[in-house]
């Protein structure tokens, strides 16, 4: 499938809501991945099960709004019938104009140079599509069943909690899948926020190395990687949750132009302008 085929087949039956991939009524066989990292926290004043529910739900609704959905975990690939919001369509302006610079580089298994970029532009694009809890745009249909590459963790303070995501983009999108790596954790052995972030930056390097091994094992050439994390200190008396996810979805009808393939040549800011945001 070409990217044109993908986006033509990735339209929801709902005007103002995105929907999970594989649900009835979509325009075809395509799907879109949207990236999200978030944390949530609640005071410990209920039983631990209920506190964990509220902390996790707050992580889902914070940042890019992905609340009120039945998220089902699946494996972590964006395939040949998939595309990535903010990268392939409604491309983030910082990626288009080159202002987003690599944060590290690696040597691919065939000797090619591989740039690694911050994931922040793709997270920003997801927030622009879904909106926030207070200002929703085209969120997922409330109560919808949504498959996605996701991991989460819920912890009792005092401790740190974190989530991390990487996307390795395949060089040949018509024969290979792009790869998601999700990671979550707690208890970073560091006293200050700067020290905890330094440990997570080291963790990012390990994840990049793992991606390089996965590519070499399956003879898949990745042309670039996007990676980043979110962390939060959970004080004593609180429960905290960290979430990393990339839901696989079809786009709300009103979120796309006619023809929908215009999205492939449209920047994120142009998409926002056309929709009055």
Catalytically annotated residues: 182
- Long-range CB contacts (within 8 A, 24+) of 205-208: 205/104, 207/164, 207/166, 207/181, 207/183, 208/104, 208/106, 208/116, 208/166
Whole-angstrom Cα distance, residue 199 to residue 68? 33
**What is the rounded (10 degree) CA torsion for 206, 207, 211, 216?**
20
What sign does the CA torsion over 118, 119, 120, 124 have? positive
Rg (Cα) of the chain, in Å, rounded? Answer: 18
């Amino acid at each position: 499938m070409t990217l044109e085929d993908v986006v033509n087949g990735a339209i929801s039956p709902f005007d103002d809501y995105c929907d999970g991939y594989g649900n009835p009524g979509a325009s075809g066989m395509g799907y879109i991945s949207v990236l999200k990292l978030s944390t949530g926290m609640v005071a410990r004043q209920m039983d631990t099960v209920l506190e964990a529910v509220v902390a996790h739900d707050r992580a889902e609704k914070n940042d890019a709004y992905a609340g009120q959905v039945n998220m089902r975990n699946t494996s972590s690939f964006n395939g040949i019938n998939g595309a990535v919001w903010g990268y392939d369509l409604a491309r983030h302006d910082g990626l288009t104009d080159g202002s987003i610079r690599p944060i590290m580089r690696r040597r691919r298994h065939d000797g090619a140079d591989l740039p690694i970029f911050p994931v922040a532009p793709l997270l920003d694009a997801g927030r622009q599509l879904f909106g926030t809890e207070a200002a929703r745009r085209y969120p997922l249909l409330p109560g919808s069943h949504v498959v996605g590459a996701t991991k989460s963790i819920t912890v009792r303070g005092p401790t740190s909690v974190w989530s991390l995501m990487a996307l390795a983009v395949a060089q040949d999108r018509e024969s290979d899948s792009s790869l998601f790596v999700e990671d979550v954790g707690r208890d970073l052995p560091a006293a200050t926020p700067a020290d905890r972030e330094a440990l997570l930056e080291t963790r990012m390097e390990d994840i990049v190395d793992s991606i390089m091994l996965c590519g070499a094992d399956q003879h898949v050439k990745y042309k670039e990687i996007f990676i980043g994390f979110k962390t939060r200190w959970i004080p004593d008396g609180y429960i905290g949750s960290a979430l990393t996810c990339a839901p696989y979805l079809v786009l709300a009808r009103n979120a796309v132009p006619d023809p929908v393939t215009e999205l492939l040549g449209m920047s994120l800011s142009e998409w926002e302008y056309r929709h009055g945001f």
